[in-house]
Amino acid sequence: MNPVRSNKSTIILGALIALSAAFFMWALLGSKKQAPPAAPVVSPSTAPRTSGVEPQNTAGENLSAVALPLERKINNDGGVEVSVQPLDIQSNEWTFAVSMNTHAGDLDADLTKSAALTDKRGNIVSPIRWDGAPPGGHHREGTLVFQAMVPRPDSITFTVKDVGGVAERKFEWQLKGRENN
């Protein structure tokens, strides 16, 4: 074997190992970028208020237009977990995140036919579409969309019928005093 060729191979191999180690160290330590600090959050209850002026956050956004989330509600009757959370009840279309999970039977309900929104006045709104998993299976999730209730009620009840052998499940949220939802 030629000793010159052996030395060149050793040098090249050593250089490759050194470059690999340097790249590994850079990837591990040097490429982590610091996230910019989050903007301070000002809630409507703690925002300074002056006469006739709506409270604003540090970005200058009107806090009366900032949505406050409504809580997720869960019902576990009949061996089927049904979870519902309002996502948007500000626009012309109200959206609700819906998930259903079971280990017994298929989830074959057509939510556009078995769900409804009602208010205390007896107004009923049916869903206009389901954006999610099709009927069947043990796990389904998606977004159920309704036309907005006008005028905005003080409370809403989301009702779903005939899921998992349960005749009716009701989920209620109070809206009065939460105009920012």
54's tokens? 């709506």
Position of tokens 């237009």? 65
- Provide the pLDDT for residue 1: 56
Q: Residue-wise pLDDT tens for the chain (181 aa)? A: 565 566 777 777 666 676 666 555 555 555 444 444 443 333 333 333 333 333 334 444 333 333 568 999 999 999 999 999 999 998 999 999 999 999 888 899 999 999 999 999 999 999 999 999 999 999 999 999 999 999 999 999 999 999 999 999 999 999 886 555 4
- Provide the pLDDT for residue 12: 76
Alpha-carbon distance 117 to 148, whole Å? 10
Alpha-carbon distance 18 to 1, whole Å? 26
74's tokens? 């869960």
145: three-class secondary structure by DSSP: strand
71: three-class secondary structure by DSSP: coil
Q: How buried is 104 (Cβ within 10 angstroms: 0-12 exposed, 13-18 middle, 19+ buried)? A: exposed
- Provide the pLDDT for residue 115: 97
| CA angle 172–178–181, rounded 5-degree value | 80
- Provide the pLDDT for residue 33: 43
- Provide the pLDDT for residue 16: 66
Decide if 135 contacts 108 (C-beta within 8 A).
yes
- Provide the pLDDT for residue 69: 83
- Provide the pLDDT for residue 30: 53
Contacts 24+ apart (CB under 8 A), 7-11: none
Q: Which H or E run includes 86?
A: strand 80-88
pTM above 0.75, yes or no: no
Alpha-carbon distance 78 to 161, whole Å? 12
97: three-class secondary structure by DSSP: strand
